[in-house]
Amino acid sequence: MYVPNENRYDHFSYRRVGSSGLKLPPLSLGLWHNFGYYDNFETAREMIHTAFDLGITHFDLANNYGNPANGSAETNFGRILKEDFPGNLRDELIISTKAGFDMWPGPYGGSDDNGGSRKYILASLDQSLTRLGLNYADIFYSHRPVPGTPIEETVGALATAIHQGKALYVGISSYTPEQTQAAANEAVRQGIRILIHQPNYNMFDRWIEEGLQAVLDQNGIGSIAFVPLAQGLLTDRYLNGIPADSRAAKAHQFLEAGSVTDEKIKQIQALGEIAEKRGQSLAQMAIAWVLRENTTGGVKPVTSALIGASRPEQIRENVAALDHLEFSNEELAAIDQILLWDKNLGNNPWHALALRSD
């Protein structure tokens, strides 16, 4: 029988989400990979236990997580909740889910032209709650902007979820600055607020610095960055090239071997040298960088970094990054010099997805 660590809230401070009253841990656990039917259930259970014992209270899902068995991550997480988090322990958790991608056949199942419709969003939420075994989600997201669907309809569906008591807060993911402002305006008109935005953000992909963070700050919206390790690129695994068992070697959907160029490997190695001088692994420094407070150029800090894991040890390593979040100006300048990041956003699959609905 699982008994949570009684010292679980002693590891770090929690961060307020925008101008709301809600706080999130600086690290949250995403269940995008490694929590579905085709993964080891007991390992998944152990990772959930490890995260909670370390103070991670936020678990992030979506209706389609668990691919190729879409929805299976929610089903497995629901089983873990039922078996291991009885009674009031549910009140110590922030559980989020999303709707926006293809889930079932036909014209209402979330394909590219209906993933933002009222019909799809509210049906998807009901299905997610059934799989999770919950009466409500703490945060419910529009997973992506959808071409051809009015923002009034998408935000209206989110408002209905709140009014029905099926979501406490709502958020958006992968929306451009302009789309985010439109959603925020419509939310106010409908008597609710957008709590949080979930964009992709890491050293190799800094698109949110080009206007999105300013929009979030102006509207009191928090942010939670996914892929802070760039699908594993910003880890020690790639210091000597592409590992045979890596996502890049397996031509993962969002990380292909062709994108891991010699120049990219050189950047990873140079970043690894800075991390070593800081007494951190490259993954730890990459997480600290995403969460950094001493940003430059008016860039606003993110609320939380969304980590993934395939084993408990990775969660422990990532949490250890919180012991050293500070960067000197010299370190930040050296990192920027290594990155020389490209403002052309064409290699960003999530941002490109958002641009399609402009």
pLDDT tens column, 296-306: 666 678 999 99
SS (H, E, C) the chain: CCCCCCCCCCCCCCEECCCCCCEECCEEEECCCCCCCCCCHHHHHHHHHHHHHCCCCEEECCCCCCCCCCCHHHHHHHHHHHHHCCHHHHHHCEEEEEECCCCCCCCCCCCCCCCCCHHHHHHHHHHHHHHHCCCCEEEEEECCCCCCCCHHHHHHHHHHHHHCCCEEEEEEECCCHHHHHHHHHHHHHCCCCEEEEECECECCECHHHCCHHHHHHHCCCEEEEECCCHHHCCCHHHCCCCCCCCCCCCCECCECHHHCCHHHHHHHHHHHHHHHHHCCCHHHHHHHHHCCCCCCCCCCCCCEEEECCCCHHHHHHHHHHHHCCCCCHHHHHHHHHHHCCCCCHHHCHHHHHHHCCC
Q: Identify the structural domains of the chain with CATH numbers, from first to last.
A: 15-230+297-310+341-355 (3.20.20.100)
- For the segment 214-234, what is each residue's pLDDT rounded down to a tens digit? 999 999 999 999 999 999 999
- Please say if the pLDDT value at position 22 is more than 50: yes
- For the segment 164-215, what is each residue's pLDDT rounded down to a tens digit? 999 999 999 999 999 999 999 999 999 999 999 999 999 999 999 999 999 9
- For the segment 252-270, what is each residue's pLDDT rounded down to a tens digit? 445 555 568 888 899 999 9
pLDDT value, residue 255: 55
Confidence of residue 355 (pLDDT cuts 50, 70, 90): very low
